[in-house]
Amino acid sequence: MRDALWYPLAGDAETRYLAGWILHLLHALVLPVVPLVWMVGVLGGVARSAARGDDPPALDAEGVSRDALRVSLVLAAYAVPVAGVLALGALVLPSGTDVPAAPVALLAAGLLGLLLPIVYVAPASVVHASVSESLRAGFDRERIGRTLGDARYFTRWAAGLGGLAAAAVAAGALGDYLVGYLLAVYCEVFAFACFGWGASATVERAR
């Protein structure tokens, strides 16, 4: 566990934290969401290196851009069904405050039923796509299924989910201070490293 906590500080940590801090700051103050596309590219590289047993990679613009596109497309594909349920709810549910409880409960149940599997499967897809350097590998049922059935993936996925929750808290509560976004980057790197470690025994590397 101690090695896992030190992992986000390995490699070219100064460049990684400076880039992450700038991207989070741009997201908060200048252009929402778009800078985070490059941040997920950085994190995709982290997941690949962790799955291969390597330190976090040094940043290069071309590699980060490729990872950003690949990881963003994987995450967007998983976001589509969630957006569909929300859109359906907006169409079906009546407007106003006097909304019957039953439709709201059904919508909430539908969202929960979608979110739980997606939150579990999506990190595995990101790792497979990143390690294989192939978008198709991120949606290969056989490969993903092997990872999801591995108990090591579950435990490290849970740790990674905790890391993402801590990152959200750090960015939200301490975003006005320098340490807030730096702590968020640390937690995000830890989370994606956990996802990579969880899938390390079942991924296939790019040839």
Token pair in block for residue 140: 């290969």
DSSP letter (8 states) at residue 54: -
- Rounded Cα distance between 102 and 207, Å, is 52
Q: Is residue 109 part of a domain?
A: yes
- How would you write the pLDDT of the chain (207 residues) with one tens digit per residue? 667 889 999 989 999 999 999 999 999 888 889 999 999 999 999 999 999 999 999 999 999 999 999 999 999 999 998 888 777 767 766 665 566 677 667 777 777 777 889 999 999 999 999 999 999 999 999 999 999 999 999 999 999 999 999 999 999 888 778 789 999 999 999 999 999 999 999 987 654
Q: Is residue 207 part of a domain?
A: no
- Rounded Cα distance between 150 and 173, Å, is 35
- Domains contained in the chain, number: 1
Q: Is residue 191 part of a domain?
A: yes
- Rounded Cα distance between 174 and 127, Å, is 29
Helices 101-132 and 141-148 pack at an angle, to 10 degrees, of 100
Q: Is residue 152 part of a domain?
A: yes
Q: Is residue 21 part of a domain?
A: yes
Q: Is residue 206 part of a domain?
A: no
Q: Is residue 195 part of a domain?
A: yes
Taking the CA of residue 42 as centre, how many other CA atoms within 13 Å lie in the half-sphere pointing to its CB? Answer: 26
Range of the domain at 121: 2-199
Q: Is residue 205 part of a domain?
A: no
Amino acid letter, residue 10: A
